[in-house]
Amino acid sequence: MENLALIESFSEFKDDKLIDRVTLMAILEDVFRNALKKKFGSDDNFDIIINPDKGDLEIWRNRVVVADDEIEDPNEEISLSEAQKIEPDFEVGEDVSEEVKLIDLGRRSILALRQNLISKIHEHDNTTIYKQFKDLIGEIYTAEVHHIRHKAVILLDDEGNEIILPKDKQIPSDFFRKGENIRGILESVELKGNKPVIIMSRTAPEFLEKLFEQEIPEVFDGLITVKKVVRIPGEKAKVAVDSYDDRIDPVGACVGMKGSRIHGIVRELGNENIDVINYTNNLQLFISRALSPARVTSIAINEEKKRAEVILKPEEVSKAIGKGGFNIRLAGQLTGYEIDVFREGVEEDVELTEFSDEIEAWIIDEFKKIGLDTARSILDQDVAYLIKRTDLEEETILEVRSILKKEFED
């Protein structure tokens, strides 16, 4: 009963940790074996008998009886006179099994055992949590806002597990309040110092893909396949969808009547503008669809260089480029092709990089950020638009336009 009482005192917190008795007893055995090694130098000659049903264990020390003056290893050998105190008829050469009471280990050892046990159980809990969340990577997860920091939001799930939502994994328009439930995708989990660090993301393309699975039954059932998702979080996204059932309109099914199905997803993502596009193996058609809402006149594809030259009517160019160049950038990411836009009827154009000896690289980069990477694409826009869409001064823009105009005048 001494052992049982001590073990119960060691494991009084097991219910809080949700650890089963069998696992607890296995951890206890490991802890006790370490203590035996420390005290006796080895645990090879000790038997630990576990009874998980009762929550009890017994420790037996096995030694060989030797003559009183022939002891070489006190841990594995016992003198004849000492053995006969246990059982009078023991003889030299026989094996003696003697039960070790935990109380005999001493108060300090018992305190150390308890501390070691707590440490081992925490380690077990952390390993269990790590494995649990490792299996959930790529899935949508809901947790409650516990603490809002400058660089991250700390969340807690129903089990009290801490989940981190870093600032760069948040949609720019996200605003959280303590106690609010939020959704995101579990992006990664790793053990740092035996503590699991769980990272959530709301900006990953996979989050949008999983939202489609949750909100659109045909996607969940596999009738519609999400082929690819590209995003500029909080601004714009493009989703290519396909169906192997000709009776199903994948775009119509995803958007719903008057946008009813996709509205919840848009709201979840801070009113991110989502274009749903019919996927096709026809590359020209796919690029044309990817540039929606612009209407493409013609496309010339260079498969080797992964480039596509797209001709559009003048009024369609700004639609193809989109606000901040988002539309053309996402179309390129969706199709895997770098897309160059040209106005219909304009035969000659020059890449902006050709003017690098006259125009500084950072200025060229400013234009590229909004999808303008040729001379004509800049000359086709008015100065007021260029001032609004870039971080460039009016004087700089006028100077660039002057350089570009000379190219075509010459």
For the segment 100-120, the average pLDDT, to the nearest whole number, is 68
- pLDDT of 70 > 50? The answer is yes
What CATH number should be reported for the domain holding residue 185? 2.40.50.140
Q: Which amino acid is at 26?
A: A
Q: Does 320 map to a domain?
A: no
Q: Is the dihedral of CA 5, 6, 11, 13 positive or negative?
A: positive
Among residues 279, 302, 329, the one where a domain terminates is: 279
pLDDT (0 to 100) of residue 337: 94
Instruction: Name the residue among 142, 133, 155, 137 with its Cα closest to residue 204.
Output: 137
Most confident of 41-50, 268-277, 356-365: 268-277
Inform me whether the pLDDT recorded for 191 exceeds 50. Answer: yes
The answer on 75 and 181 residing in a single domain is: no
pLDDT at 345: 65
Whole-angstrom Cα distance, residue 3 to residue 1? 5
User: Residue 172: which residues within 8 A CB-CB, separation 6 or more?
Assistant: 233, 234, 270
Q: In this structure, are 102 and 176 located in the same domain?
A: no
From the list 325, 283, 313, 314, the residue with the least C-alpha distance to 301 is 283
Structural domains of the chain, count: 3
The string over 27-63, giving b where at least 16 C-beta atoms fall within 10 Å of a residue's C-beta and e elsewhere, is bbeebbeebbeeebeebebbebeeeeeebbbebebeb
- Same domain (yes/no): 11, 91: yes
* pLDDT at position 26: 72
pLDDT above 70 (res 263): yes
Spatial separation of the C-alpha atoms in residues 234 and 221, rounded to whole Å? 28
How far the first Cα of the chain sits from its last, in Å, is 103
How far, in whole angstroms, is CA 398 from its chain's centroid?
46
Residue 36 has pLDDT above 90, yes or no: no
Residue 273 resides in a domain: yes
* 149 and 191 housed in the same domain: yes
| Token pair in block for residue 217 | 């039954």
Residue where a domain terminates, one of 231, 259, 279: 279
Determine the Cα–Cα distance for residues 256 and 37; give it in Å rounded to an integer: 69
Q: Within 10 A of 352 (CB to CB), how many other CB atoms are there? A: 22
Residue 180 shares a structural domain with residue 229: no
Are both 89 and 6 inside the same structural domain?
yes
Residues whose CB falls within 8 Å of the CB of residue 180, separated by 6 or more in sequence, listed in order = 144, 145
Determine the structural domain holding residue 240 and report its residue range.
204-279
Q: Is the pLDDT of residue 183 over 80?
A: yes
| Residue 257 DSSP symbol | G
Instruction: Indicate whether 400 belongs to any domain.
Output: no
Does residue 295 belong to any structural domain of this protein? no
8-12, 82-86, 120-124, 221-225: least confidently modelled range: 8-12
Claim to verify: residue 149 and residue 244 sit in the same structural domain: no
What mean pLDDT do residues 80-106 have? 81
Contact 182, 201 (CB under 8 A): no
Whether residue 153 is contained in a domain is answered as: yes
Domain final position from 203, 235, 251: 203
**CATH number, domain containing residue 102:** 3.30.1480
Question: What pLDDT score was predicted for residue 380?
Answer: 82
Instruction: Judge whether residue 50 has pLDDT over 90.
Output: no
Domain match, 13 and 100 both: yes
Q: Cβ distance 364 to 356 under 8 Å?
A: yes
Mean per-residue pLDDT for 118-146? 83
Burial, 361: exposed, middle or buried (Cβ in 10 Å; 0-12, 13-18, 19+)?
exposed
Residues 102 and 185 placed together within one structural domain of the fold:
no
Give φ, ψ of 382 to 5 degrees.
-80, 160
Indicate whether 177 and 261 sit together in one domain.
Answer: no
- φ/ψ bin of 357: left (φ > 0), alpha (ψ from -120 to 50), beta (otherwise): alpha
Considering the domain architecture, whether residues 37 and 52 belong to the same structural domain is answered as yes
Stretch (H or E) spanning 190: strand 181-192
Instruction: Band the pLDDT of 344: cuts 50, 70, 90.
Output: confident
Dist CA 344 CA 194 (whole Å): 62
Give pTM, 2 decimals: 0.63
Taking Cα atoms as reference points, which of 365, 362, 366, 350 lies closest to residue 403?
350
Same domain, 117 and 141: no
Across the range 117-137, mean pLDDT stands at: 78
Residue 232 within any structural domain of the chain = yes
| Residue 391 within any structural domain of the chain | no
CATH number at residue 231: 3.30.300.20
On the CB side of 91, CA atoms within 13 Å amount to: 0
Question: 390 lies in a domain?
Answer: no
